[in-house]
Structures are given as C-alpha cells and as structure tokens.
Amino acid sequence: MKEALRQFFDDVRTRSLGTDILTSDEDRLAYSHGCYPREYKWILQGKYPYVTDGVLIPRDEDGVSGILRLANESGVGIIPYGGGSGIVGGSIPYNGQVIVDTKRLASFSVNAVNMTARGGAGLSGCEFENMLNSRGYTSGHYPQSFQSACLGGMAATRAIGTFSTKYGKMDDMVTALDVVLPTGEMLRTHEAPKRSTGPELLQLFLGSEGVYGIVTSVEMRIYPLAEKRIFAAYTFPSTEDGLSAVRATIHRGLRPAVVRLYDETEAKHKVAQYRFELGSSLLILVFEGYREETELEARLSDEICAAHLGRRKDETASREWFETRFSTKKMLDYDAIRGGTADAIEVAAPWDRIVTVWREMRDALEPLCDVVDCHFSHVYHSGASVYVIFHATTGGDEREGEKRYLECLRIACETSVKNGGNVSHHHGVGTAKAEFMALEHGMSGVGVMKRIKDALDPNGILNKGVLGL
C-alpha cells in the first residue's frame, strides 16, 4: 500500500470515528464491481482488472463528510457505493479509488401530515417499502432492482419503477435531499412543495450519479396502501395500434399504475403460451388505488383500448407478469455464456418519434444479436420510453463477448439519438454511456455540467469519469 494511502486510512481511523475500514483482498474485490455487463466479462476473463484500494463504511452523515474532507487533503479519489445494482459502470475504481459504502445510513421516519417519508441513503427499496407498508403506506416505487438498489443510488440516477405511470420517477417522487458535497460541506434542500428562489438545487443532484455529491438521505412522497388492484391484458393487431391506445389513455388523463406494451416479437412467447392471436402485440395494465377510482380508470381504459382495436383477454397474463416482475435471469444467463452478452438499453422519445426509434433500434441490433426484445413500459403526456433488450453470442471467448457488447451499446445509443430519442431513460450514464453524452446534450450542455463539476469538486475527488465529467 502506498504511504499516502496508508496515511489517509490512519487519518480516517482517528478523525472519522466509527468508520469501518476494509482492506482485505476479498472485501476489495467484492466491492469493485456492480452489474455492468462488461464487469461480468471481466470476471470470466481471469484476474479482475480494476480493484479498489479500500472500502470505508461510515456510520452516519458526519462520517461521510469527514471522509470527503480528508480525501481532499490527501488527493484520494472516492466512489460512493450503495446496493451495487447499477448496470452502466458507475462505480468502477478504474484508478484504485476508495469506495464509500453508504448502507449504514439507514434512518427512517414518516410525516403523516405531509404524506412524506425520509429514509437514509443506504436503505434498499425493499426495506424502505416494507417499513412503509407496515404503517399503511406505499411509495409506489418498484424498480426491477427493488431488493438491492438503495435510496441514495436510486435518487442519484433518477431511477424508475414498474408502477411509474401512476407514481412517477424518482425525480417526481423525491421532495428533499441531504447531500454531502465533494468538499465535505453538507447541504439539505428545502422541504417546501414549490419554490421560486433560483434554480432547483434538488434537481441538480437527482441524476448527478455521485459526481456532484453523495446523497445521504432522501425524502419522498407516500400514499395510502391501495384499496383495490385490477389486472388487465389486451392484444392488438400491431404495436402501433397498442401505442395509439396507450397514448389516448394518457391524453385522457388516466393513469394506470402499470402500462407495459410488448411488441409483436417479444410478445410471441406469451401470445403462444396464452393462445392469443398470433402476430399480436400484448398490453399489460394494472390499476390500483381507492376502489371507486380504480374501477373507473379500468372501465375508461377498457373503452379506449376497444376503440383502438384492442381485444380484452383473461387477466392471467397480467397477474403472472406481476409475480415475476423482478427477474433478470435471461440477461444473466447470456452474460454467463462464453462469448455471450446482454443488456437492456432504455431510451425515451416524444410520441411522434417513438415508433421510429423503436423500429430503427430493433433493425440496427438484430444483425448482431440472437434475440432482440422490445417493450414500452413508462409513458408520459408527451412521449414514452422503449426498452430494447439484446441477447448475443459470438462463438468466441469473453473478450469477443465484451467487444460485441460495446458494439451493440454504441449502435443502440447512436441509433436512438439519430432518430429523436435519447441516451438513457432511467439506468443512468455511468462510464458506459459517457462518450455519448454530447450526442444528446451537445458540447455546450456537457460544458455546463463540467463547469458545475469543477466548481463543486475543485480537486476532482468524487466519482471521476462518471457522466464523462
């Protein structure tokens, strides 16, 4: 261990009391990867190439602040780490940076008057929701990484859950944040529901992926547990018909909790399984809330689907999706194949461009992949997102699998932006998509982000390289 690093750990031990310090080979390796597909390939290639110099586990926000102050004095790079579920390479210690694990930040409180709850950044989505449920509330936030992703990381990436059409993304749900800035200063954003006092600081840190500060606690809107939940399923002659029905539903002002439209190709398996019309797209809808409200939304949505050639089906397809909604097994199976790879590229576009983005991304990826699955699962007044999930095998070794992954990622991002989509809808950018930031924001937009980074983190301590900053 370098002398400067040894001195840094000694200073943490004496000046950031209560912080655990892990330096064994096993601990360092365990923290040095998330769920980025390239990381799977690196593991299978042999000796893992990027290992942290050490792991710090502070007991509270003061501990985080003390660590960052010492890091600035010592010139030690820091990477914040929550559940390790990120899939865009946002926590890779390319330069041996020290990882700060936030999972001991696990406070919890409910404000029943404001209908908000505050949780420490280290609480997993599952832990937070379970504590709410036991008190009769829900946050409505159920990402696929629900059981592992932590509140701090979900806020820092503007994460989204499957019930987003009713409850929104994290940037809709979060009402206030506690953040430790790269210099160690602490910031708490105001809890007022609306402000006209300059730029919205809360939004600056939502989506900043740890480059502007480490989130230490998150305040979110909460709701009473639903009185009723209704499941529905429809087939449509085409994906375009399904999208038209979804768009009409949203423009009517209806907000099903779940909207999930599978294109004809991804729907094939389910269509065959349930003996639906061959060649159909498949729409899953879930409604929840107060009984009368839920029943009315379901009835009005049914009328809209019928008007757009939708055919109502038994609710079994919808219920079975709900029961398996957290599974990522198919992608992991492909990552484990020698020379194989897989990823979910999620992008968004306005309604008048989403069909082109979907078609062009599918057409661009199919020659490189064994399977390309596409579905639309997050919708808004002015547009929607599309998941384009690719599964590829090369017949080669793990380096060939990694090369194929990079090729598919590049083609997917470039095709999306070229046709009016963006680079990422909710997985974030990390280092995986950093090179494509200028495609979406332009050099001037990236320049603004860099100037903010330089102002908040003058010594370049925190999460260097993420977002391309």
Q: pLDDT tens across 202-232, in order?
A: 999 999 999 999 999 999 999 999 999 999 9
Tell the burial category of 190 from Cβ atoms under 10 Å away from its Cβ (0-12, 13-18, 19+): exposed
> pLDDT (tens digit, 9 = 90+) per residue, 240-296?
999 999 999 999 999 999 999 999 999 999 999 999 999 999 999 999 999 999 999
Domains defined along the chain, listed by start:
3-101 (3.30.43.10), 108-224 (3.30.465.10), 228-323 (3.30.70.3450), 329-439 (3.30.300.330)
Per-residue confidence band for 365, with pLDDT thresholds at 50, 70 and 90: very high
Give the DSSP per-residue string, 115-151.
TEEEEETTSBHHHHHHHHHTTTEE-----TTTTT-BH
Q: What is the pLDDT of residue 329?
A: 79
> pLDDT (tens digit, 9 = 90+) per residue, 88-132?
999 999 999 999 999 999 999 999 999 999 999 999 999 999 999
The structure tokens listed for 18 are: 């209560």
> pLDDT (tens digit, 9 = 90+) per residue, 372-415?
999 999 999 999 999 999 999 999 999 999 999 999 999 999 99
What average pLDDT does the segment 33-37 reach? 95
Per-residue confidence band for 331, with pLDDT thresholds at 50, 70 and 90: confident
Q: In what order do the strands lie in the sheet with 186-188?
A: 108-111, 116-120, 214-221, 174-180, 186-188
What are the counts of helices (DSSP H) followed by strands (DSSP E) for the chain?
17, 18
Q: Across all residues in the chain, what is the average pLDDT?
A: 96
Question: What gap in Å lies between CA 40 and CA 107, rounded to an integer?
Answer: 33
pTM: predicted TM-score of the whole model, two decimal places: 0.95
Per-residue confidence band for 177, with pLDDT thresholds at 50, 70 and 90: very high
Tell the burial category of 297 from Cβ atoms under 10 Å away from its Cβ (0-12, 13-18, 19+): buried
Per-residue confidence band for 450, with pLDDT thresholds at 50, 70 and 90: very high
What average pLDDT does the segment 49-77 reach? 97
Q: What is the pLDDT of residue 325?
A: 86
Q: Is the pLDDT of residue 78 over 90?
A: yes
Query: Distance from CA of residue 305 to its chain's centroid?
Result: 29
Per-residue confidence band for 330, with pLDDT thresholds at 50, 70 and 90: confident
Tell the burial category of 161 from Cβ atoms under 10 Å away from its Cβ (0-12, 13-18, 19+): buried
Per-residue confidence band for 370, with pLDDT thresholds at 50, 70 and 90: very high
Q: Is the pLDDT of residue 1 over 80?
A: no
Q: Is the pLDDT of residue 333 over 80?
A: yes
Q: Is the pLDDT of residue 4 over 90?
A: no
Question: What gap in Å lies between CA 368 and CA 376, rounded to an integer?
Answer: 22
Per-residue confidence band for 172, with pLDDT thresholds at 50, 70 and 90: very high
Give the lowest-confidence range in 129-143, 166-180, 320-334, 410-424.
320-334
Per-residue confidence band for 327, with pLDDT thresholds at 50, 70 and 90: confident
